[in-house]
């Protein structure tokens, strides 16, 4: 099932969705088994920003029908902290992954402007540990991420500005919260992106339950319409969004020539197969890894089994 | 029990089977056939029923749920459950032989008491669970057990530990009032102690404050809504003293009281 | 729980989503009980177009995770057929509904252009049986419906063109498949709409299962990526979309002054309560009626019970 | 059995309880305590388990599922089930006393045979269900029963009707071949008949064609993916002869063969 993606040779088409798998924490929790049976053919870092971010106040999670709403708020050490502390460690883990065969490391970055993104991309360009760069222009929890990604014109500008600063594969992660995602994908391709990835989470809202488990009201008195999440609105992921993702990935793959990384609600090899069947080159697994840290490997095996048939 | 290096979980979820669910007053004790590594007191596992997990009007549960190891005996792991929603309800209904998806043991457990200090185990409600396995392993140190409950049915949970002094909000059992009243007494009597606490956020917060005041070391086992339990989602955070956040699942669930400015309202066991 | 909406006095805030309850067919199936316990405080017709439409070829349905994808394609007798055959019958049923108390009849119309919509609206204006008009500018199954509704500028033009032709309450049903639904709601309000309703279904895709129940392939040979629905893509509804709907309704209610009709995945009084809590005036029930034709009434009672607390 | 005016369903879903699920070869017979109105042969109900409906990896079933009344006896409604997916599987697992959401009876059933004509009941696979209740009510008319199955385990379903001639694709029981071969024989012998058919789309299509050719009246009980079952969603359509579509749930499920140009591949029982 090996597949080539923007010049990278991957053992299979399954990778992780940015921000859904912390390889450092997972290694601390699961040890060497994680590296031996590393679930992904490439590893995507969570989103890195120029300045350090603490992330949103809790609560950050809400369980929706067949899905999860998150409002994490992109906590990260900032570019310098990432390059200094995390990148070397991640690079080491990636090189040891798959019993030493190693997996490429993709770094996902987000900036509020073309200037910020350019600095982030330039810094990544300078680091040989980084095999590819993913631009997050789609995070619904951060105003700018949304705005840039939802507007084809702005998106094209930003990608054009960034493109010259790296020779590494440049993946643009699109927002699903837009009228015509294929138009955005087209804009990214026209601006020189090597790949587009989608979907990010769908904008969603969860309200604080009027009463908590004990029957007593957390807020002290019913406060109608009070958002549960510290970040107010959040992003929906998981099985609930799978068919929406499938529609958007199909629309994008039909529009652009560059390879597409499809994701959204994938739980099984059959789900991954469907994204590939509508034109994705790679499939990313996010929320399902929360239910099973080894889900990516299981899905890759299931995919191979179906595909051999 | 080690010093902050905790047992490692097998990678990936494991399909284990339920041995049975026993009543314990208002609580249930879920017994699972578990040949996995031993858990440190304070560590937890993410559990989900292999069948009939989700659906219905709410279409929940979807994610696995976190539960402290309450005990480990001869290939059995015990979990103390309180039915507070669809996930715990489903787990309370497991029959012998039913499949269970388990990830764990996870997180950082309690650390060993400083030699010479008395260990005070202070639990509230279902939060007594990790104190039971802690007591099992604290054989050496002198221990005092203080448990608080909302009512008599819940107070039956005290049977999980030996020699507990009990307090109940409704006065139906033991001291009529808060378990922290008992802690005040104990610390007044002898402060040369270390407090291991798990329970509702409000309780943990007063334990933190009392111990800080009296400058008694305290380890607090926190809770938080969790999606993954192994540091992947960054969803389970609590504010760290001095800024930033800690992930309860990997930096905790047991935290040194000094790591927190205060215990957030979301960071405790079901009230 | 009585509520006033654009000058109409409703017994409670629960109505039906357009195209999810055929009162004529339901009366044939359930008889007088339907009228006695009529589940909705107002009745919304399915979408009517100028010309008759047969609708999309089957299959038209796909069950998604905690939801339903439909590609019905707005089958209807066309304006003349509706006014001649269905309207009188619907008006009669509405007058007999709720044990004779009666419920207002809302007619939902869709047109490919301002001209078409104007003709539809003018025709409705002339019929006293019609209490209010809903403009469907949001149906993801029909190109134009999508385009108009997703672009605030176009939407404003269309509503401005239509507005002068009716004195009846004019409700604009927004599409959720857009970058900023509040902007679209604002445009509708600026153009003179009396209310906005949302959400319509989320664009989604279902693929034909590679093998059917018998293990034999319906399509004869695996045809990767073959759409299951006769209409290719469809629209997702039901619990899976509820939190997305909640976010969009909250955003819209925060932006506009006119009353908002909220819908999307409502299964219970608690779900309806949440939509009201974020600012909706009425709540529409769609997919849940498929699981229980009397769901609207049950939800209204549950809502009243919670609200009284 | 009336002429195209069918029994009316109580408004709203009813919570009924399962009496039991019996094996019948490859099929199951679900017996439900039903005090509701009598069903016309050919009518169906929308069924969903009250508990554990949905969830799991697929997060399905969500919608109710349509099933023909196979029999009604003293306050019991019987349904013949074939496990083809998550919904039928769950229903096959119902225990006595389990709750069931039921909407129905729905749709238009078979109409009475024209006096003097022999009734030929032709069923394929699980499609034999509505023919059983039809046979129960066709006491007057002379009837011939022809049933076809994929294999022997399924052929055991023939026990649901009396005096059936059976065909099986694998030859394990009765005629080795298609049930339509038997129909050809019967019509060759005597065409003064009316055919009542239910089964896979391909079978219904050849029945339609054969009867049209020989100009024998035929009533076909169709299937279609359904969301509501009472005309609300317009999802269950089949192409009508002369253009447009019919809603299987309210215009059918029983349609006069003349109403169709051909039987669509999606319009039959599980193959
Ligand atoms: C480290 C750790 C150890 C724990 N140990 C134990 C233990 O030993 N025994 C035990 O009984 N419990 C324990 N818990 C708590 C347990 O995990 C929760 O009670 C359980 O997850 C509740 O799931 P539920 O589906 O039953 O209830 P939920 O429906 O999840 O509701 C539980 C609470 O979560 C909130 N809530 C309600 N709806 C939602 C939603 N849709 N999404 C998110 N939050 C919602 C409300 O405050 C509600 O009161 C532990 C938790 C942690 C983090
Ligand atoms: C009027 C009527 C009467 C019927 N009577 C009977 C009866 O008496 N006995 C009986 O056993 N059955 C009967 N059926 C068929 C029965 O309703 C279906 O077999 C049942 O709905 C299947 O549900 P499931 O969840 O088990 O399988 P599903 O998962 O729904 O799969 C069943 C078939 O539907 C398609 N499918 C697969 N996935 C999906 C999806 N996600 N969304 C939509 N379609 C999908 C595939 O073709 C698959 O083979 C009847 C149907 C109708 C309309
Ligand atoms: C908890 C959580 C955190 C996420 N963090 C990021 C992130 O930092 N950057 C990003 O581009 N996407 C992020 N995502 C989006 C995922 O990468 C993915 O696009 C989305 O979850 C859909 O896939 P899934 O349904 O398989 O989870 C996050 C998703 C979740 C659930
Ligand atoms: C089968 C089906 C048909 C629909 N037809 C229409 C329609 O004709 N016009 C319209 O404006 N919306 C239509 N809708 C959208 C619903 O009115 C509603 O906006 C949507 O389903 C979300 O609500 P729900 O999740 O409660 O179903 C339809 C929805 C479904 C499921
Ligand atoms: S629960 Fe996911 S990081 Fe802690
Ligand atoms: S199933 Fe809904 S109209 Fe027939």
The band of C182, judged by pLDDT with boundaries at 50, 70 and 90, is very high
Q: 10 Å Cβ neighbour count for B15?
A: 9
The predicted pLDDT at position A11 comes to 98
Q: Which two tokens stand for residue C163?
A: 């507005």
* Peptide linkage before D253 cis (omega within 30 of 0): yes
Average pLDDT per run of 10 along chain D, which is 271 residues long? 63 98 98 95 98 93 98 96 97 98 97 89 98 92 94 97 97 97 97 97 97 97 97 97 97 97 83 54
Say whether residue D56 is in contact with chain B using an 8 A CB cutoff.
Answer: yes
Indicate whether B57 pLDDT > 50.
yes
For the segment A186-208, the average pLDDT, to the nearest whole number, is: 97
Among the listed residues C168, B227, C27, B136, the one whose alpha carbon sits nearest the alpha carbon of residue A289: B227
User: Does residue A156 contact residue A150 with C-beta atoms inside 8 Å?
Assistant: no
For the segment A128-154, the average pLDDT, to the nearest whole number, is: 78
The predicted pLDDT at position B221 comes to 98
The predicted pLDDT at position A309 comes to 63
Q: Is C124 in the active site?
A: no
Indicate whether C143 pLDDT > 60.
no
The band of C146, judged by pLDDT with boundaries at 50, 70 and 90, is low
Percent of the residues in chain A that have a pLDDT greater than 90, as a whole number = 86
ipTM comes to 0.96
The predicted pLDDT at position C212 comes to 39
For the stretch A39-66, pLDDT in tens is 999 999 999 999 999 999 999 999 999 9
For the stretch B70-101, pLDDT in tens is 999 989 999 999 999 999 999 999 999 999 99
The predicted pLDDT at position B116 comes to 86
Smallest CA–CA distance, residue A298 to chain D, in Å, is 13
The predicted pLDDT at position D174 comes to 97
The band of C148, judged by pLDDT with boundaries at 50, 70 and 90, is confident
The predicted pLDDT at position C142 comes to 47
The predicted pLDDT at position D112 comes to 87
Say whether residue B59 is in contact with chain C using an 8 A CB cutoff.
Answer: yes
Strands of D27-33's sheet in order across: D65-68, D44-49, D99-106, D14-24, D27-33, D76-81, D71-73
CA gap C133, C108 in Å, rounded:
6
The predicted pLDDT at position D2 comes to 44
The predicted pLDDT at position C289 comes to 98
Which of A65, A178, A240 is opposite residue C179, by nearest beta carbon? A178
CA gap A214, B150 in Å, rounded:
10
User: Does residue D98 contact residue D76 with C-beta atoms inside 8 Å?
Assistant: no
Indicate whether C112 pLDDT > 70.
yes
Percent of the residues in chain A that have a pLDDT greater than 70, as a whole number = 93
pLDDT greater at residue D179 or residue B139: D179
For the stretch C238-261, pLDDT in tens is 999 999 999 999 999 999 999 999
Atom of ligand 4 nearest to the CA of D235: 1
Report H helices in C191-279.
242-255, 269-277
Q: What residues have CB less than 8 Å from A171, skipping those under 6 apart?
A: A6, A106, A132, A133, A134, A135, A193, A194, A195, A196, A197, A261
The predicted pLDDT at position D113 comes to 84
Give, using CA atoms, the residue closest to atom 52 of ligand 2.
D223
CA gap B119, B21 in Å, rounded:
30
Q: What is the DSSP letter of A241?
A: G
Say whether residue D53 is in contact with chain B using an 8 A CB cutoff.
Answer: yes
CA gap D84, D62 in Å, rounded:
15
Among the listed residues C254, A206, C270, C272, the one whose alpha carbon sits nearest the alpha carbon of residue C262: C272
User: Does residue C44 contact residue C15 with C-beta atoms inside 8 Å?
Assistant: yes
The predicted pLDDT at position A253 comes to 98
For the segment A212-229, the average pLDDT, to the nearest whole number, is: 57
Residues of B in contact with A212 (CB under 8 A): 271
User: Does residue D199 contact residue D122 with C-beta atoms inside 8 Å?
Assistant: yes
Which of A25, A65, A238 is opposite residue B230, by nearest beta carbon? A25
The predicted pLDDT at position A216 comes to 31
Indicate whether C160 pLDDT > 90.
yes
CA C236 to chain centre: 13
The predicted pLDDT at position B8 comes to 85
The band of C113, judged by pLDDT with boundaries at 50, 70 and 90, is confident
For the segment A137-146, the average pLDDT, to the nearest whole number, is: 54
Say whether residue D53 is in contact with chain A using an 8 A CB cutoff.
Answer: no
The predicted pLDDT at position C141 comes to 43
For the stretch B147-176, pLDDT in tens is 999 999 999 999 999 999 999 999 999 999
For the stretch A58-106, pLDDT in tens is 999 999 999 999 999 999 999 999 999 999 999 999 999 999 999 999 9
For the segment A252-258, the average pLDDT, to the nearest whole number, is: 98
The pTM for the full model equals 0.96
Q: Which of D53, D54, D56, D59 best probes binding to A when mutated, by most A CB atoms within 10 angstroms?
A: D59
Indicate whether B4 pLDDT > 50.
no
């Amino acid at each position: 099932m090996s597949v080539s993606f923007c010049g990278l040779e991957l053992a299979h088409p399954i990778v992780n969705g940015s921000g859904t798998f912390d390889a450092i924490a997972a290694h601390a929790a699961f040890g060497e088994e994680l590296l031996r049976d590393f679930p992904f053919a490439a590893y995507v870092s969570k989103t890195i920003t120029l300045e350090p971010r603490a992330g949103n106040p809790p609560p950050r999670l809400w369980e929706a029908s067949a899905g999860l709403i998150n409002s994490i708020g992109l906590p990260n050490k900032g570019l310098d902290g990432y390059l200094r502390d995390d990148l070397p460690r991640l690079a080491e883990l990636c090189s040891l992954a798959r019993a030493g065969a190693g997996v490429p490391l993709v770094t996902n970055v987000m900036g509020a402007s073309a200037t910020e993104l350019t600095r982030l991309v330039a810094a990544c360009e300078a680091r040989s540990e980084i095999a590819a760069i993913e631009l997050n222009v789609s995070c619904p929890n951060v105003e700018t991420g949304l705005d840039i990604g939802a507007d084809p014109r702005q998106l094209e500008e930003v990608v054009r500005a960034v493109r010259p600063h790296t020779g590494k594969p440049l993946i643009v992660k699109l927002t699903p919260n837009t009228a015509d995602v294929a138009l955005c994908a087209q804009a990214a391709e026209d601006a020189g992106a090597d790949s587009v990835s989608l979907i990010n989470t769908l904008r969603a809202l969860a309200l604080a339950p009027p009463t908590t488990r004990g029957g007593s009201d957390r807020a002290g008195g019913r406060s109608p319409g009070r958002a549960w999440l510290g970040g107010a609105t959040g992003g929906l992921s998981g099985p609930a969004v799978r068919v929406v993702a499938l529609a958007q990935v199909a629309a994008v793959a039909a529009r652009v020539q560059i390879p597409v990384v499809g994701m959204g609600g994938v739980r099984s090899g059959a789900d991954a197969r469907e994204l590939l069947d509508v034109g994705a080159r790679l499939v990313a697994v996010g929320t399902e890894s929360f239910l099973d840290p080894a889900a990516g490997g299981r899905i890759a095996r299931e995919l191979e089994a179906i595909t051999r048939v | 029990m080690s010093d902050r290096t905790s047992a490692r979980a097998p990678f990936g979820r494991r399909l284990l089977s339920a041995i049975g669910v026993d009543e314990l007053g208002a609580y249930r004790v879920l017994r699972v056939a578990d040949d996995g590594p031993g858990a440190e007191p304070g560590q937890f596992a993410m559990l989900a029923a292999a069948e009939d997990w989700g659906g219905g009007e709410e279409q929940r549960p979807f994610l696995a749920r976190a539960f402290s190891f309450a005990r480990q005996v001869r290939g059995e792991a015990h979990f103390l459950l309180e039915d507070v929603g669809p996930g715990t309800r489903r787990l309370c209904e497991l029959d012998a032989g039913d499949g269970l998806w388990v990830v764990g043991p996870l997180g950082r457990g309690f650390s060993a008491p400083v030699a010479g200090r008395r260990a005070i185990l202070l639990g509230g409600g279902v939060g007594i669970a990790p104190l039971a396995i802690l007591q099992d392993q604290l054989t050496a140190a002198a221990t005092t057990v203080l448990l608080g409950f909302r009512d008599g049915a819940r107070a039956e949970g005290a049977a999980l530990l030996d020699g507990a002094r009990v307090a109940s909000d409704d006065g139906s059992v033991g001291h009529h009032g808060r378990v922290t009243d008992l802690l005040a007494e104990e610390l007044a009597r002898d402060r040369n102690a270390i407090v291991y606490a798990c329970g509702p956020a409000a309780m943990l917060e007063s334990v933190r404050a009392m111990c800080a005041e009296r400058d008694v070391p305290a380890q607090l086992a926190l809770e938080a809504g969790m999606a993954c339990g192994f540091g992947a989602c960054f969803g389970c955070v609590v504010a760290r003293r001095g800024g930033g956040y800690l992930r309860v699942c990997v930096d905790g669930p047991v935290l040194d009281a000094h790591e927190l400015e205060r215990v957030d309202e979301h960071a405790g066991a079901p009230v």
